[in-house]
Amino acid sequence: MLRRLSDSHVAVVGLGYVGMPLALMLAKHMRVTGFDIHQERVEELKEGFDRNREIEGPLLRTTTCDFTSEVPDICDCNVYIVTVPTPIDGHNKPDLGPVESATKTVASVLKKGDIVVYESTVYPGVTEGICGPLLEQGSGLKSGKHFFLGYSPERINPGDAEHTVQKITKVVSGQTEEVSDFLAALYGQMNNGNIFRARDIRTAEASKAIENAQRDINVAFINEVTMILNKLGLSSYDVLEAAGTKWNFLKFSPGLVGGHCIGVDPYYLAECAQNIGHEPRVILAGREINDSMGPYVASCIHDLLVKETGSGKSGKILLMGFTFKENINDIRNTKVLDILKALQALGHDVAIHDPHARLEDVRHEYGIDIMSTLPDKAEYDVAALLVSHDVYKEMTPESLQSIVRRGGVIYDMKGIWRHMAVELAYRFSYQTL
């Protein structure tokens, strides 16, 4: 028998980009405890500091949500929402290790009548076929009889102040109709009942798996078109601007596809397809194209530098931007790393600037040092804009001239300086995708 919503105590397991905002929003309506295995993260949150810069200090300091890294602190909860990452390994295979570890933690405190909801991106069948048995094994209870499963795919977009967790449609699904009703009421508290009930858990899992795969394929098409247009001597941004005047043209832009979702989730769908004997040609072709963009951009920068210098000598190159998208500090699966490695392999001296990335995180994760402030000497042969942070959009030809030597190269991968291309051309060789 399920508890009433008013009597429920929710544990959000995993306090990252997904779990943290969810925990705070739910805590406005009910009792919530946020759990994370990283004690340092928990202590920072207790002090009102979010290193992800998604939550403001005043909201953290006034929330009723409790934060803990101690498992006994969530033993009296009756709803467990798992929001841990689902990465891929070095062979682009799904790594369910974090989900399995979180599941075992929940199993250790699971009781009769409890509900375990997964928000982590998985392929169809993981919640009931992998997580359910792990919960049974660790708790000695029976899924669908003593405890119940649910799935509600996360749709958090880091750095997006418009599509926040309380403003988007929440897909929910439960092992039974009663569980689905309960989850609809639980999530509906925070988004005014903007709920879509999926037919079943596997349907909800599949819906999440295809959301980011669709975006990945659309971007891959634009990236491949960009390569074609560049060989024709055309700017993809000029062409896309013209094509975008048609009412049903889908407006995607070329660029690097990294991060924890679009660059990862299609591999989960591909793994599922291969497991049932279907070769996912379009999905994997899209991944191959997007994964090739880093080396392609590096080759463009190299060729432009060689053209301008008239020799094959190495140059000093400044890469502007390191995070996987603009105006956030998230460096997970950043494809700027591919550009760095390719340029270094070609013999260039490469430096990186990013105003948002945490320097210690970059050093710990990738073993490299980057700058948080722009250099004050015009010592670079090339400045390559890779991530369209606002601070870069505000730059002028004069500010760029303080970084790049006169006659040097401005490579604008994101097209943010196209409006001043003519003015830039008086000082530099300017090129965009």
Q: Which residues are catalytic?
A: 261
Instruction: Select from 63, 58, 50 the least CA-distant residue to 16.
Output: 50
Instruction: Select from 400, 398, 355 the least CA-distant residue to 382.
Output: 400
